[in-house]
């Protein structure tokens, strides 16, 4: 019995060591197509990972992507992320649920466009943000946003964007608080989304105030 318990203990220790040390010797770039395909399925737009890929199992399941691009390569409306870090809930993963304890997007650059009728170009794209049951308990974002208006031929740039919130995409909910800088002025804002009664599109609410 002691020999059996000792063997089991050694096996557990070796498994933990492999989980801790093994990822340093795994070339995760070999799995780039799988990462991109899964992300494309979630987002509903082409996703490319041009930078490095790193993953860990212990102490917390985590994934780090560098140089992430969302949207067609030559599309004027796209998203770029310098650093994407996500920490998953181990218990949720074991149950087959996509739940992230924390998702951090640093160096986010979003280019959006309004058509001549004032509609966001992304709104007409089928399958956009098809995240299914993805949940993020803590969402942290830093970056900038550029908005092009086809009707007025104007460009508005929001710099130093910082946002903290959470995501409940099964219900179509993204909510939180943040701030941005425009024309040298800092603006705090509150953001929330929801799905219309007919289930099509995404309803966006943004409250902005100017700091005196």
**Per-residue CA distances from 55 to 58, 136, 170 (Å):** 10, 18, 25
| Chain mean pLDDT for the chain | 75
pLDDT tens across 81-111, in order? Answer: 999 998 887 777 666 667 788 999 999 998 8
What confidence tens digit (pLDDT) does each residue in 136-186 have? 899 999 999 988 876 777 788 899 999 999 987 666 688 999 999 988 889
Question: Cα(99)–Cα(87) distance, rounded to whole angstroms?
Answer: 9
Q: What is the mean pLDDT of residues 113-142?
A: 67
CA 22 to the chain's CA centroid: 26
Section 21-27 average pLDDT: 53
Ordered DSSP codes for 107-172: EEEEEEEE-TTS-BGGGG-TTTT--TT-EEEEEEEEEEEEEEETTTTEEEEEEEEEEEEEEEGGGT
Whether the CB-CB separation of 97 and 78 falls below 8 Å is answered with no
First to last CA, the chain: 74
Q: How far is the C-alpha of 81 from the C-alpha of 129, rounded, in Å?
A: 16
Predicted pLDDT at 39: 79
| Residue from 49, 45, 50, 37 nearest 72 by CA | 45
Distance CA 55, CA 62 (A): 6
Query: Over pLDDT 70: what percentage of the chain?
Result: 66
Of the listed ranges 2-16, 90-104, 114-128, the least confidently predicted one is: 2-16
What is the SS3 assignment for 9?
helix
The answer, yes or no, to whether residue 132 has pLDDT greater than 90, is no
pLDDT, residue 160, reads 95
Grade residue 194 by pLDDT with cuts at 50, 70 and 90. confident
Residues facing 152 on adjacent strands: none
Predicted pLDDT at 78 = 79
Domain residue limits, the chain: 30-208
Q: Mean of the pLDDT values across residues 178-201?
A: 82
Residues 6+ apart with CB under 8 A from 111: 76, 77, 78, 79, 146, 148
Most distant pair of Cα atoms in the chain: their distance: 80
Of 135, 55, 26, the closest CA to residue 89 belongs to: 135
Mean pLDDT computed over 6-15: 47
Integer Cα distance of 84 and 53 in angstroms = 10
Residue whose structure tokens are 């995240």: 131
């Amino acid at each position: 019995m002691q020999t059996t318990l000792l063997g089991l203990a050694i096996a557990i220790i070796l498994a933990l060591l492999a989980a801790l040390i093994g990822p340093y010797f795994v070339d995760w770039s070999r799995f780039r197509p799988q990462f991109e395909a899964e992300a494309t399925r979630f987002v509903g737009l082409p996703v490319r990972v041009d930078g490095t890929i790193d993953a860990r199992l212990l102490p917390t399941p985590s994934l780090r992507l560098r140089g992430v691009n969302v949207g067609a390569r030559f599309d004027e409306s796209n998203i770029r992320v310098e650093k994407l870090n996500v920490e998953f809930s181990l218990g949720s993963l074991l149950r087959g649920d996509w739940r992230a304890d924390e998702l951090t997007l640093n160096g986010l650059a979003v280019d959006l466009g309004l058509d001549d009728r004032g509609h966001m170009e992304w709104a007409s794209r089928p399958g956009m943000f098809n995240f299914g049951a993805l949940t993020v308990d803590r969402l942290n974002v830093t970056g900038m946003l550029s908005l092009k208006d086809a009707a007025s031929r104007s460009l508005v740039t929001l710099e130093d964007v910082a946002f903290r919130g959470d995501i409940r995409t099964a219900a179509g909910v993204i909510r939180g608080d943040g701030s941005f800088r425009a024309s040298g002025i800092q603006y705090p804002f509150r953001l929330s989304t929801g799905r219309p009664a007919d289930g099509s599109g995404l309803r966006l609410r943004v409250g902005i105030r100017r700091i005196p």
